[in-house]
Structure 1
Amino acid sequence: MTTTQGIQTVLHPVTDLEKAKTLYAALLGVEPAADSPYYVGFEAEGQQIGLVPNSDMAAPISYWHVADIEAKLAEITAAGGTVKSASKDVGGGRLVATFADPDGNVLGVLQDPS
């Protein structure tokens, strides 16, 4: 069994990116590290908080950072999880995937490039 590096990334679906950006900047006490029309990302105290407009996410998704995303997905499915979105490169070699636990909660795994 492989271990995780903990939850380090949480993505939030938003409907009004500008209003959400203002609120999260106030909450976190930092300005965005990434700021584009399709994603605004903050880095605060070792956490990456992302705002995703026009998303199909029904709720925020927590991403567990892992060293080997495919190995972790295999362990998750063997333990009863269901892959919702297979691993994909979202830029710069960063891989993400989502899965559902037996109760339907959607969680994510994330592998940064080596």
Structure 2
Amino acid sequence: MTSTQGIKTVLHPVSDLEKAKATYIALLGMQPTADSPYYVGFEAEGQQIGLVPNSDMTSPIAYWHVDDIEGKLAEVTAAGGTLKAAPKDVGGGRLVATFTDSDGNVLGLIQDR
């Protein structure tokens, strides 16, 4: 069984990136560390808080960081989870994937190379 490094990333779908960015700046008390038209991210106390516009996400997704994304996906699907999005490289060798638990909750995995 592979372990996780815990939840370190939470992505939030947003409909208006500029309005959401202002709200999260006020909430977190800091400026974003990544600011682009397709993603705004904040590093807050060791967590990445991301705002994602124009996404198919319907609610925030918590991402568990793992050393072996394929191995962890095999474990969670064998235990009843269902693959939603296979691992894909989102830049810099970072792999992300999502799956659903038995109740349909969407969970994410991240592996940094």
Which bin holds the TM-score, normalised by the shorter protein? over 0.9
* Partner SS state of residue 5, structure 2: coil
> What is aligned with 1:99?
99
- Number of the residue aligned with 1:28: 28
- The residue number in structure 2 matching 1:14 is 14
Match of 1:40 in 2: 40
SS in 2 for 1:57: coil
Q: State the distance in 1 between where 2:26 and 2:46 align.
A: 17
Partner residue, 2:86:
86
Q: TM-score, normalised by structure 2?
A: 0.99
Aligned partner of 1:63 in structure 2 is 63
Query: Shift of the alpha carbon at 1:29?
Result: 1.1
CA distance in 2, matches of 1:38, 1:4: 28
Q: Which amino acid aligns with 2:39?
A: Y
Root-mean-square deviation (CA, aligned residues, Å) is 0.4
Q: Provide the secondary structure at the position in 1 that maps to 2:4.
A: coil
Inter-partner Cα distance in structure 2 for 1:82 and 1:62: 16
- Structure 2 unmatched ranges of 5 or more: none
**Segments ≥4 residues shifted beyond 2 Å:** none
CA distances 1:72-112 after superposition (whole Å, capped 9, x unpaired): 00001000000000000000000000000000000000001
Instruction: Provide the identity percentage.
Output: 80
> TM-score if structure 1 supplies the norm length?
0.98
In the alignment, what sits opposite 1:3? 3
The secondary structure found in structure 2 opposite 1:72 is helix
Structure 2 residue aligned with 1:111: 111
Specify the code of the residue in structure 2 equivalent to 1:94. R
Per the TM alignment, residue 30 of structure 1 is displaced from its structure 2 partner at its CA by: 1.2
Aligned residues: 113
- In 2, distance between residues paired with 1:27 and 1:85? 30
Query: Which letter does structure 1 place at the counterpart of 2:112?
Result: D
Structure 1 counterpart of 2:26, one-letter code: A
Instruction: Kindly state the Cα deviation for residue 13 of structure 1 after the two structures are TM-superposed.
Output: 0.2
